[in-house]
Amino acid sequence: MDPLFSEFSYGYTVTEELATGVLGFQKVRPLFPTQYQEAQPGGGYDVNLPYSGAPMYLQFKRADGMIRTNAKEYHLFNDTYYRMHLMPPRYSPQHELLIHLKASGNDVYYITPEFYTDEELASYYDNRTVFFNSRTFSPSEIGHLSYDEDHYVVYNNSPIAWICSEEPRRLEKSIRGRDFSEQIIVTTRQKSRRVDESFFDKLIDTSINILEKKTMIVDTLKQTSVRRKEIDTLSEKAIFANFLSRAYFGCELFIVGE
């Protein structure tokens, strides 16, 4: 069955939980200001950003609920499972871009729910457990996708997951939301640095370098490079880094700090 809620609704609930402390003492700051924050000096960023932290990119995905026993991959689980579709390379280079973003030293994940009904979303939202009932996948573990085939990830409420095209391949490193905090704590301590202008300069330059090498949108990139030269303040650089994340990589950019 198709998911019964929008990708926006799912992403909103996950973002709200992360921003309000679902990972315990970890401070997870999304980089999109409210209209009120935008009107304040610095756009609200210089107030809300942690002193030090590490970037994390999340792409929100919905999943189909596969409830019938004759579903193609039912034999892999012998139970209800979920199917998260990936953007085929013939339509978009986005998955490849995420692999290169990860290879540049960033934490990059697809995040998708372990449920598909709007009733479940509402219940988990009320209990602040949407994130805990989600699953994260690394684009690099999924690997490169062939151009012509359709690709998707299947999983259920256990650690089991597979990437499927012609033949399923087991994924060993997916992380359930309830186990994600330990992973982020380790990552933050290893990669944490001061969140200042140079922090966002590095994110911006990395994104633009990947785009220049891996895409053909030359005119758009020329405009982006011009805009890059016009930004100076911390808030402008934070906004621009998130613009690149959203517009080209399909991700929300978060800063994870202690």
The pTM of the full predicted model, rounded to 2 decimals, is 0.89
| pLDDT band, very low/low/confident/very high, at 189 (cuts 50, 70, 90) | confident
| pLDDT band, very low/low/confident/very high, at 21 (cuts 50, 70, 90) | confident
What are the domain boundaries of the chain?
A: 7-257
The residue that leads in pLDDT, 25 or 245, is 245
Enter the tokens of residue 252: 């929300």
Contact (Cβ atoms closer than 8 angstroms) between residue 54 and residue 188? yes
CA distances from 197 to 46, 155, 201, 202, 239 (A): 10, 40, 6, 9, 12
Contact (Cβ atoms closer than 8 angstroms) between residue 118 and residue 5? yes
Is 43 a residue whose pLDDT tops 80? no
Per-residue model confidence (pLDDT) at position 258: 67
Secondary structure of 50-106 in the HEC alphabet?
CCEEEEEEEEECCCEEECCCCCCCHHHCCCCEEEEECCCCCCCCHHHHHHHHHHCCC
Q: What angle do CA 69, 67, 140 make, to 5 degrees?
A: 105
